Structure 1
Amino acid sequence: MEQSTEAFFNEFRQEMLAGAEANSSFQLASFMETIANELIETGFVEGFEFCHYRAQRGMRVDGYWFDDEGGLDLFIADFESRTVLGSLTRTEIDAAFRRVFTFFQNAVEKELYTELEVTAPEYGLARQLLDRFGFIRRINFVLLSERALSDRVQSLDDDTVCGISASYHIWDMSRLNRQRNARGAKEALDLDLIEMFGRGISCLPANLSSDSYSSYLIVMPGEVLADLYGRFGARLLEQNVRSFLQARGKVNQGIRSTIMNEPSMFFAYNNGITATAQTIKTQQTNDGLEIVRINDLQIVNGGQTTASLFHTRRRDKASLENIFVQMKLSVIDAEEAELVVPRISEYANTQNRVNAADFFSNHPFHIRMQDFSRRILAPAAQGAQRETRWFYERARGQYADAQSKLTPGEQRQFKAMHPKAQMFTKTDLAKFENVWDEHPRWVNLGAQKNFAKYASRIGKEWTSGSDKFNEFYFKRAIARAIIFRATERLVSNQSWYNGGYRANIVAYSIAAINELVKKHEMAINFMQVWNEQAVPEVLLNALGKASSFVNHDLVQPPQGISNISEWAKRENCWTRIIGQLADLEDQIPQDFFDALVQVSEQKEEQKSARRTQKIDNGINDQKRVFDIGAETWGLILKEGAPKKLFSPKEIAVLQVAAQIPVRIPSEKQCAILIVCLEKAQLEGIVQNETRQA
Structure 2
Amino acid sequence: MITLQEFHQDFLQSILSDSESRGLMKAQSFFELVCEDLMQVGDLTNNYEMAEFIKTGCEVYGYDYDEDRKIFTLINFQFFQDDTIETLTRHHVTTKFNRLKKFASLSMAGLHNDLEETSEAYSLAFNVHRNVHNKLIDKFRLIILTDGKLTGTISRIPNESIEGIVYEHKIIDINYLYSIFMSENASGSYEIDLNIPYLEVHNQSNEYQSYLGIMDGEQLFNIYDEYGQKLLEQNVRTFLQFRGGVNKGIRNTIEFKPDMFFAYNNGITATATHVETKNGYITKITDFQIVNGGQTTSAIYAAKKNSKLDISNVSVQMKLSVVNNIEKKGEFVSSVSQYANTQNKVNKSDFFSNSPFHKEMKDYSKRIWVAAHGGSQKRTHWFYERVRGEYLNEQAYLTPAKKKQFQIENPKEQLIEKTFLAKSENSWDRKPHIVSKGAQYSFEEYANSVTNTLEKNELAITENYFKDAVARVILFRATEKIVSKASWYQNAFRAQTVAYSIALLSHSIKKRNLFLDFGRIWDEQRLPVELKEIMKVITKKIYERITNPPHGSANIAQWCKKEQCWNDIRGIEIDLILLKKLVVTTEEAKYEQKSGKKQKELENGIEIQMFVVQTDFETWVQLFGYYMSNNNFRSLTITQRDILKKYTDGKIPLPSEKQSKVLYALYQRAVKEGWEVLS
- 1:192-230 CA-to-partner distances (Å, cap 9, x unmatched) read 22xxxxxx1111111414332211111222222233223
Q: What SS does the corresponding residue of 2:459 show, helix, strand or coil?
A: helix
Q: In the aligned structure 1, how far is the partner of 2:159 from the partner of 2:380?
A: 48
Give the superposition deviation at 1:152. Answer: 1.5
Q: In the aligned structure 1, how far is the partner of 2:643 from the partner of 2:555?
A: 62
Question: 1:601 and 2:595 equivalent?
Answer: no
- Does the 8 A contact of 1:393 with 1:424 survive in 2? yes
Amino acid at match of 1:297: F
Matches for 1:639-658 after TM superposition, within 5 Å: none
Give the superposition deviation at 1:325. Answer: 2.0
- 1:14-48 CA-to-partner distances (Å, cap 9, x unmatched) read 43233333322223212212322332344432344
Amino acid at match of 1:189: Y
Matches for 1:490-509 after TM superposition, within 5 Å: 490-509=482-501
Give the superposition deviation at 1:147. Answer: 2.1
Q: 2:303 aligns with which of 301, 304, 312?
A: 312
- Relative to structure 1, the CA distance from residue 239 to residue 211 in structure 2 (aligned partners, 3 Å threshold; closer, same or farther) is closer
- Does the 8 A contact of 2:531 with 2:578 survive in 1? no
Specify the alignment match of 1:197 in structure 2: none
Q: In the aligned structure 1, how far is the partner of 2:282 from the partner of 2:646?
A: 50
- 1:148-192 CA-to-partner distances (Å, cap 9, x unmatched) read 111121123344455344432211123223333444543233212
Specify the alignment match of 1:398 in structure 2: 390
Q: 2:431 aligns with which of 439, 447, 454?
A: 439
Question: 1:259 and 2:254 equivalent?
Answer: yes
Amino acid at match of 1:311: A
Give the superposition deviation at 1:319. Answer: 2.1
Q: 1:667 aligns with which of 651, 656, 661?
A: 661
Q: What is the identity percentage for the equivalent residue pairs of Structure 1 and Structure 2?
A: 36
- Does the 8 A contact of 2:42 with 2:228 survive in 1? no
Specify the alignment match of 1:559 in structure 2: 551
Question: 1:419 and 2:411 equivalent?
Answer: yes
- Does the 8 A contact of 1:650 with 1:673 survive in 2? no
Higher Cα Rg, which structure:
2
Specify the alignment match of 1:269 in structure 2: 264
Q: In the aligned structure 2, how far is the partner of 1:259 from the partner of 1:161?
A: 33
Amino acid at match of 2:221: A
Question: 1:20 and 2:6 equivalent?
Answer: no
Q: What SS does the corresponding residue of 2:77 show, helix, strand or coil?
A: strand
- Relative to structure 1, the CA distance from residue 16 to residue 238 in structure 2 (aligned partners, 3 Å threshold; closer, same or farther) is closer
Specify the alignment match of 1:102 in structure 2: 102
Specify the alignment match of 1:151 in structure 2: 152
Amino acid at match of 1:187: G
Specify the alignment match of 1:295 in structure 2: 286
- 1:282-314 CA-to-partner distances (Å, cap 9, x unmatched) read 112xxxx11111111111122222222222333
Q: In the aligned structure 2, how far is the partner of 1:422 from the partner of 1:626?
A: 37
Amino acid at match of 1:607: K
Amino acid at match of 2:293: G
Amino acid at match of 1:258: T
- Does the 8 A contact of 1:441 with 1:570 survive in 2? yes
Specify the alignment match of 1:532 in structure 2: 524
Q: In the aligned structure 2, how far is the partner of 1:633 from the partner of 1:159?
A: 75
Paired residue total: 657
Give the superposition deviation at 1:564. Answer: 1.5
User: In angstroms, what is the RMSD of aligned CA positions?
Assistant: 3.4
- Relative to structure 1, the CA distance from residue 621 to residue 102 in structure 2 (aligned partners, 3 Å threshold; closer, same or farther) is farther
Specify the alignment match of 2:207 in structure 1: 212
- Relative to structure 1, the CA distance from residue 649 to residue 475 in structure 2 (aligned partners, 3 Å threshold; closer, same or farther) is farther
Amino acid at match of 1:253: K
Give the superposition deviation at 1:419. Answer: 0.9
- Does the 8 A contact of 1:78 with 1:143 survive in 2? yes
- Does the 8 A contact of 1:76 with 1:96 survive in 2? yes
Matches for 1:330-341 after TM superposition, within 5 Å: 330-332=321-323, 333-341=325-333
Question: 1:78 and 2:69 equivalent?
Answer: no
What is the TM-score when the length of structure 2 is the normalising length?
0.88
- Relative to structure 1, the CA distance from residue 533 to residue 281 in structure 2 (aligned partners, 3 Å threshold; closer, same or farther) is same
Amino acid at match of 1:125: L
What is the TM-score when the length of structure 1 is the normalising length?
0.86
Question: 1:60 and 2:59 equivalent?
Answer: yes
Q: In the aligned structure 2, how far is the partner of 1:620 from the partner of 1:39?
A: 40
Q: In the aligned structure 1, how far is the partner of 2:388 from the partner of 2:416?
A: 11
Q: In the aligned structure 2, how far is the partner of 1:62 from the partner of 1:344?
A: 39
Q: In the aligned structure 1, how far is the partner of 2:17 from the partner of 2:315?
A: 52
- 1:86-107 CA-to-partner distances (Å, cap 9, x unmatched) read 3222342122112112211221
Give the superposition deviation at 1:244. Answer: 8.8
Amino acid at match of 1:149: L
- Relative to structure 1, the CA distance from residue 675 to residue 291 in structure 2 (aligned partners, 3 Å threshold; closer, same or farther) is farther
Question: 1:111 and 2:105 equivalent?
Answer: no
Q: In the aligned structure 2, how far is the partner of 1:612 from the partner of 1:488?
A: 34
Amino acid at match of 2:211: Y
